[in-house]
Chain A
Amino acid sequence: MNILLYLIPIALTLGLAGLGAFFWAMKSGQFEDLDGAPHRVLRDDDEAN
């Protein structure tokens, strides 16, 4: 059962990484405009810069 000593921290770290990524996304304003974002992807007027 020693494998648990590795697996449990790995599982928890992965989970925490996901949680951290979510908080980062929230903080950087990625959930500010949920209505506009799905339409932006359809616009092909991006400039080359």
Chain B
Amino acid sequence: MTTRPFIIAEPDGAHSVNLLVEGMHCPSCVAIIENALKKQEAVLAARLNLSTKRLRVTWTGPEALGNTWASLINGMGYRAMPFDPATAETAEKKEEKFLLRCLAVAGFASGNLMLFSIPLWSSDSMEMGAATRTFFHWVQAAIAVPAIVYCGIPFYRSAYKALSQRKTNMDVPISVAVILATLMSLFETITHGTHSYFDSGVMLLFFLLIGRYLESRARGRARSAAHDLLQMMTGFATMLHENGTQETIPLSEIKEDMVLLVAAGEKIGADGVVIAGESEIDTSLITGESQPRAVQVEAALFAGTMNMTAPITMRVTKAGERSLLSEIITLIECAEQGQAKYVTLADRISSWYTPAVHALAAATFVGWMMLGNVVWQVALLYAATVLIITCPCALGLAVPVVQVLASGKLMRAGILLKSGSALERLATITHAVFDKTGTLTLGKPTLTSHHSHAQLCLAASLAAQSKHPLSQAVMKAYAGPLLPLTVTEIQGYGLESGQVKLGKRSWATRLDDDGENMVELWLAEEGNPPVRFTFADQLRTDAKTVITSLQSAGIKTLLLSGDRQEVTKNIAQALGITAFEGALSPIQKTEKISSLKASGAKVLMVGDGLNDAPSLASASVSMSPASAMDITQNAADIVFHGDRLQPVLTALRTAKFSQTLVRQNFLLAIGYNLIAIPLAVAGMVTPLIAALAMSGSSLLVIANAMRLNARKG
């Protein structure tokens, strides 16, 4: 891998490079990577961002050292890829920062407005003196008007966009109410009136911005999915000319029928077939299978997978845009766009609420003009009051407050909620589709054969020197002291220490293949018959209970797997799943889900492989275990930790209860409006009543949502 095009020249002859690091599991990975780099003499600074998984290394010395850092990190079991930070700073990220700035301004403004509002509310013009009141109103105007102009931008923009498409959303009544409240307050201030509504407008924006910002942060993580995937496609490949000369070319210049050399430890740049050499390929990126796949001449290779053990020569069959990896990226992007069309409950309600409220305000104005015998200013004032009192504070909070509390509660249970509307979508599912490896099973091989302590001890002492998944499984099965052995790892075959061998059947022993197709290791020792260690992927301990609970809750369960039909069938039968299908490509999986959705089903997809990422994105709602690839986690709405499947049920229950609470909140907010509106129409509402009623209704909604925390399970 070459980092050359990504290296930035720093002052004093230093260089720096940005790397995207995959495969970090915990905060201590940050320390391990940073310390390993800082130990290098040339390195001036290394800083790894845990949130974005981006590492910046600065060093003195030649540019070529950039490759050394990348391979150092790769050698530690992570995957580092260079990237260009300029392209990484997306428009969405900027929007999120803008929201945070708006939130800060709104917080400052509403805090300071309160300083003036409290004396104004607790007195009248007799007690305070008209001059002081007017002065206070002007100070409030000076704080509130710039704040409302600036902090309201996200709402005005969204309202304008909806209106220009002849639709309405929650932001339309919010914008109208805020603008009207400000104009009316300015009018009151200029005419030396008793009351102003500046505080209500700013406070409303402040509360709503909190919800808006949290939602945007959650979404931001999901959005980077396709972007990270594209990073996999940057880099270089070694091309072999017909006359035998080699040339390094960028991946983007690979064409069909080119012959590429892929060294051990190198990423495969395009889809193709092996024409010379034998090796093992880590296909976890594409299939989610942890077990490396052995390839020989004629075997198919996919872009983005890693050549593990020996150099191979390949012929390109599909390059760049048409490779399987690119197809997966396109599928994810299409599916995510489709998902954006989901209309949330809040938007559905606002589609009738907004016209109703605005018609009511118009009727108030016309009514007072025709029947009330008042000047038009007063009639307009009453109409504006109607809009402000129906100001959707409680309505606007009804959903976000439940979402924030629910995601906090789920977070404590090890479930990370990434999309705001995921709970809403989860509560209505009719079908649950599961992937097999890594989802229903743990995705890690476990030792299934039984051995004497001495055999295990010997095997573990050899295995301790290797990072291979099977070696790790042997280590896990053994607890005790290890023998001090000098072990050499023969890439692609096994481990060797003197006369003792642990590895492939054909290498460690002289036995012929018995065609049993088991995942196995052989331990061969001079003078003793060879011992076979067998491994199998294990079901998550509670998989059966969870499937049964889902089925008894009336949710249809399906198993869609990329693995062989027979293995899929065994797992499905063990779990009591009647609908199953194996040997599916990522595209076929996505089609299955789309056809289910087309028939009216609401589909939950639970999966972990990159091959699941498009299906996750196209399902109504999706979950993925934290052991999954980063990209897959990004594509999922919900990510759960741990070795159990129980979080699927926990999330479902929380989602159902949250939706009940959201509905109650809407009823409370609308009920409050039913009481307040007649008063406003009758012209009997003062700003104090408006402020009390508004915060009262908001508190009621928040208190109702708190019941989520009181509930167990």
Contact = CB atoms under 8 A, between A and B. Distances in A.
| Bound together | yes
Interface stretch (B27-35, B253-261, B357-365): B27-35
Interface string A21-37: 01100100001111110
Given A33-B49, A35-B50, A23 B104 contact: yes
B27 A26 contact: no
Contact of A45 (B35, B104, B135): B35
Interface string A1-34: 1001000100110011011001100100001111
Q: Is the interface of B mostly helix, strand, loop or mixed?
A: helix
B97 interface: yes
A11 B104 contact: no
A35 to B, nearest CB: 4
27 contacts: A4-B135, A8-B139, A11-B112, A11-B115, A12-B143, A15-B111, A15-B112, A18-B108, A19-B104, A19-B105, A19-B108, A22-B104, A23-B101, A26-B97, A32-B49, A33-B49, A33-B50, A33-B51, A35-B27, A35-B51, A36-B27, A36-B48, A36-B49, A36-B51, A39-B28, A43-B31, A47-B38
B30 A36 contact: yes
B405 to A, nearest CB: 20
Contacts of A19: 104-105, 108
A12 B114 CA distance: 12
B52 interface: yes
Nearest to B26: A39
Nearest to A7: B115
A34 B108 CA distance: 22
B408 to A, nearest CB: 15
Contact residue range for chain B?
A: 20 to 34
Nearest to A5: B135
A39 B115 CA distance: 38
Nearest to A19: B108
A19 B112 CA distance: 12
Given A19-B104, A31-B100, A39-B50, A12 B112 contact: yes
Interface string B1-37: 0000000000000000000000000011011000100
Given A35-B51, A36-B30, 11 more contacts: A11-B112, A12-B143, A16-B108, A18-B108, A19-B104, A22-B104, A23-B101, A31-B100, A32-B51, A39-B27, A47-B38
A30 to B, nearest CB: 12
A36 B100 CA distance: 20
Contacts of B139: 8
Interface string B274-290: 00000000000000000
Contacts of B112: 11-12, 15
Contacts of B52: 32-33
A47 B39 CA distance: 11
Contacts of A47: 38
Contacts of A35: 27, 50-51
Nearest to A27: B97
A39 to B, nearest CB: 4
Nearest to B104: A22
A1 B123 CA distance: 16
B132 interface: yes
Contacts of B35: 45
Contacts of A12: 112, 143
A34 B30 CA distance: 13
B50 A26 contact: no
B90 to A, nearest CB: 14
Interface string B118-148: 0000000000000010010001000100000
Contacts of A11: 112, 115
Nearest to A9: B139
B50 A45 contact: no
B615 to A, nearest CB: 28
Nearest to A34: B51
Given A33-B50, A36-B30, A36-B48, A15 B108 contact: yes
B67 to A, nearest CB: 25
B280 to A, nearest CB: 34
Nearest to A32: B49
A34 B49 CA distance: 9
B49 A45 contact: no
A43 to B, nearest CB: 5
Given A8-B139, A23-B101, A45-B35, A36 B108 contact: no
Contacts of A34: 51
Nearest to B132: A1
A5 B100 CA distance: 32
B26 to A, nearest CB: 9
A31 B38 CA distance: 24
A15 B112 CA distance: 8
Shortest Cβ-Cβ A-B pairs, 3 listed = A36-B50, A39-B27, A33-B49
Contacts of B104: 19, 22-23, 26
Contacts of A36: 27, 30, 48-51
A12 B108 CA distance: 9
A20 to B, nearest CB: 10
Contacts of B111: 15
Nearest to B128: A1
Nearest to B112: A15
A48 to B, nearest CB: 13
A15 B115 CA distance: 12
Nearest to B38: A47
The listed residue with most A CB atoms (<10 A of its CB), out of B38, B48, B52, B104, is: B104
Contacts of A43: 31
Contacts of A31: 100
A10 to B, nearest CB: 11
Contacts of B135: 4
Nearest to A12: B112
A33 B327 CA distance: 32
A34 B115 CA distance: 32
A4 B135 CA distance: 10
A8 B140 CA distance: 11
The listed residue with most A CB atoms (<10 A of its CB), out of B28, B48, B52, B108, is: B108
A41 B223 CA distance: 30
Contacts of B48: 36
Nearest to A31: B100
